[in-house]
Amino acid sequence: MEHGLEFLRERAERTLEQMRQVVVGQDEAIRGLLVAIFTGGHVLLEGVPGTAKTLMVRALARVLHLRFGRIQFTPDLMPSDIIGTHVYVPNTGEFRLRQGPIFTDLLLADEINRSPAKTQAALLEAMQEHRCTIDGEPFPLSRCFLVFATQNPIEYEGTYPLPEAQLDRFLVKIRVGYPAAEEEERILERYNQGVELHNVEEAALSPVLTAEEILRCREVIRGLRMDTAIVQYLRRLVTATREADDILIGAGPRAGIHLLLASKALAGLAGRAYVSPDDLQEMALPTLRHRIVLQPEAEASGQTTDQALEEILRQTPVPR
């Protein structure tokens, strides 16, 4: 276990170092992506355009030596555009499967909320079962298959809210904000020097992990220790979202499972064999913010889901 943990911590640090060659700042968001990679959980990235959401996923795929696929979601996108379809081949008189972009390792679902629910639902089976069904026949997906979906938090025209059932499939919702002033100056200076940070293919990024090593790291994460008192603390946090006056719909059981896994991953990235209350507190907002619905009056008053969750964290006793 100790050897596995040290390998995990060292490779996570090397991954972060490689990512910094093309992504300036956003260390917190990158760490959230690594938590997802090492737990096998999907990610919802929310941020205004130009905050390196797509760049982070492209760079991550290159550093982890995984296949990368991208789908630009639009109102006219069809489910078959995602999963694929059988096409007729005149020369042979047979139908042949034309695989969709979902047959990859890391799938970027760009602006996922720009397609209607029927198209969004094409991802549901893949996200939950790691397979997709085409014309009644199931097809397995990569063992490293993960969805990284992006959405703009401020545009509402021409968008379709994600169904609660699909939101619940995402391990975390990461908010990608503007870079700090000094980070933005570094970005501008590097472009001023002729360095195109968005050109991942030309960057000298070295692969850090293989697919098999990622799967072994996931086994290490699952084997980390979480004391009973920490498990009970986690359960109280999740239950409190269902009892808070300002919350209409609280987090379900899957939220607790995802918070447990994400907290273990965070501990593993730090090289620790045990989970602390700090790990739960750090992962509570990313894991729960997209699973709760505020009361209409709370939302009308300007309260946010993060504020509601922060209040729950303040009020819930922390185990010693």
Q: Express each pLDDT in 189-230 by its tens digit.
A: 888 887 776 777 667 788 889 999 999 999 999 999 999 999
Of 168, 192, 213, the position where a domain reaches its end is 213
pLDDT at position 94 is 81
Q: Give this prediction's pTM.
A: 0.91
**Which residues touch 179 (CB under 8 Å, ≥6 apart)?**
24, 25, 26, 51, 187
Low-confidence ranges of the chain (pLDDT < 70): 1-3, 154-158, 197, 201-202
pLDDT at position 244 is 92
Of 187, 213, 239, the position where a domain reaches its end is 213
Give the chain's domain count. Answer: 2
CATH number of the domain where residue 193 is located: 3.40.50.300
In a domain, 112, yes or no: yes
Structural domain boundaries enclosing 85: 2-213
pLDDT at position 51 is 84
